[in-house]
Amino acid sequence: RNAVGTPSWRRADGTTFPLQSPFGAKNNFFIDPLIRTPYTQQWSLNTQYEFIKNMILDARYVGSRGVGLLGRVNLSRPLDPRVTPVNGFTAIYNRTGALVNPDFFVAPEFLGLSRNGGFQQLSNWAHSNYHAMQLQMRGRFRSSVNWNVAYTFSKSIDNMSSDASLAEHDASDLANNRGLSDFDRPHRLTAAYVMNMPTLWGGNRVGRQITGGWRLSGLVTMQSGTPFSALGAGTRNAFFAQPSRVRLDVAPGMTTEAAQLSGRIQDRLDRYYDVMAFQDSLDHWGTSGRNILRGPRQTQFDFSLSKTTKLREQLRMEFRWELFNAFNTPVFANPGSTFAANGFGDAGRITRTIGGPRTMQAAVKLQF
């Protein structure tokens, strides 16, 4: 029958078994000998329409499906005692060092592993699908202005987003790991333009040298933020004895939709989402899904001003001034998503930005 408590006995040398001292962490990784080559299926349908001369709309549907993609699974994951009866030989501790359920399961130490390590296998665990509507409008006004505006509305779903990522939560149920891809951005808008400035005082040689050859160009990028999960760093159960990203429970009476708060990002830096919508999962795997929350949207304006001056027949000088993040708009990173053992920690708080502040650079180039 299942062992009760922590049995021990003495060896011939007088020492007790099991050992009470911790083992050094081992993190073993191997490749499945039966691994197959993953493949991707892609399909698309597009049409073009010219509204007026030099103005074209391109509408496109794009889809793809990834089959047998590479991903990593921790095979030394703990089992759920409510589902699988397992023998317990030794005490199990959570990350805070507290004793939990001593007859829970065979500790990975006796499999040659450490509770802080893992046994990761790279194999064809992952799959994905992607659907997108892509719209592009491009045009030219006379010979002085060229522009291109593109918008993508898309959705990407998978159960692992890269071959370097380890399946989070319960790795024995990868279907429960299915959710938005880590890189999913449902909305993305880009606009690029190039404008050749007119030459003033064309009849005057000095005027042509000063006002001629100027070009203004720019790029505008607006996109949705990336998704993330609500995770737990400390717990009162033994699921966290393994190196997995374990998701939390949705609190009673709450929904994941209600956890997403509205308002300006700058006004929500300390409470980007409602942390009260989640709670410790206690004695079971958490009920919240993967990547159910979404980070801040991102906007950036870049400009470039250049001038080409002809000095001689085969000698030209180009001056270029470039401005990145021209309006010094902060691009906020995702908020903290890991709840601390004794509270919320940085969960729900935005503590850093990505990218950089406004940056300017100038250069002069001679062409001959």
Give the C-alpha separation, 76 to 121, whole Å: 10
Contact indicator for 95, 240 with CB cutoff of 8 Å: yes
CA distance 88 to 92: 9
pLDDT of res. 169:
75
Domain span at 1: 1-26+77-116
Per-residue pLDDT at 18: 52
Query: Does pTM top 0.85 for this prediction?
Result: no
Distance separating alpha carbons of residues 15 and 61, to the nearest angstrom: 69
> Is residue 45 in some structural domain?
no
DSSP state of 253: T
Q: Would residue 269 count as lying in a domain? A: yes
Predicted pLDDT at 115: 47
Looking at residue 210, its pLDDT comes to: 77
Tokens 């903290």 sit at which residue?
A: 336
pLDDT of residue 303: 95
Q: pLDDT at position 9, please? A: 54
Class of residue 283 by CB neighbours under 10 A (exposed 0-12, middle 13-18, buried 19+): middle
Residue 296 and residue 281: Cα distance in Å, rounded?
Answer: 27
Say whether both 220 and 102 belong to one domain.
no
pLDDT of residue 16: 56
Residue 15's CB: how many other CB atoms inside 10 A?
9
Both 350 and 240 in a single domain?
Answer: yes
In this structure, the answer to whether residues 197 and 289 fall within a common structural domain is yes
Whether 312 is in a domain gets the answer yes
CA dihedral for 68, 73, 75, 81, sign (positive or negative): negative
Over residues 64-99, the pLDDT tens digits come to 999 999 998 877 665 554 444 444 444 455 545 555
Q: Is residue 50 part of a domain?
A: no
Distance CA 145, CA 20 (A): 76
Q: Are residues 204 and 348 in the same domain?
A: yes
How many angstroms separate the CA atoms of 135 and 310, rounded? 40
Examine residue 125 and state whether it is found in any structural domain, yes or no. Answer: no
Q: Let me know whether 82 and 230 are in one domain.
A: no
Q: Does 131 fall in a domain?
A: no
Cβ-Cβ contacts under 8 Å for 3 (sequence gap 6 or more): 87, 88, 89, 103
**230 in the same domain as 363:** yes
Q: Which of 116, 144, 164 is the last residue of a domain?
A: 116
Q: Which residues of the chain have pLDDT under 70?
A: 1-27, 76-118, 201-203, 233-244, 283
Instruction: Judge if 200 and 330 occupy the same domain.
Output: yes
Please check whether residue 204 is in contact with residue 165, taking contact to mean a CB–CB distance below 8 angstroms: no
Residue 358 lies in a domain: yes
Instruction: Compute the distance between CA of residue 366 and CA of residue 368 in angstroms, rounded to an integer.
Output: 7
Q: Which of 116, 135, 167 is the last residue of a domain?
A: 116
Same domain membership, residue 226 and residue 105: no
How many structural domains compose the chain?
Answer: 2
Of the candidates 67, 87, 116, which is a domain's last residue? 116
DSSP state for residue 359 in the 8-state scheme: E
At residue 77, the pLDDT reads 61
Q: Give the Cα separation of 184 and 227 in Å (integer).
A: 7
Please say whether the beta carbons of 264 and 95 come within 8 A: no
Question: 96 and 195: one domain?
Answer: no
Residue 89 lies in a domain: yes
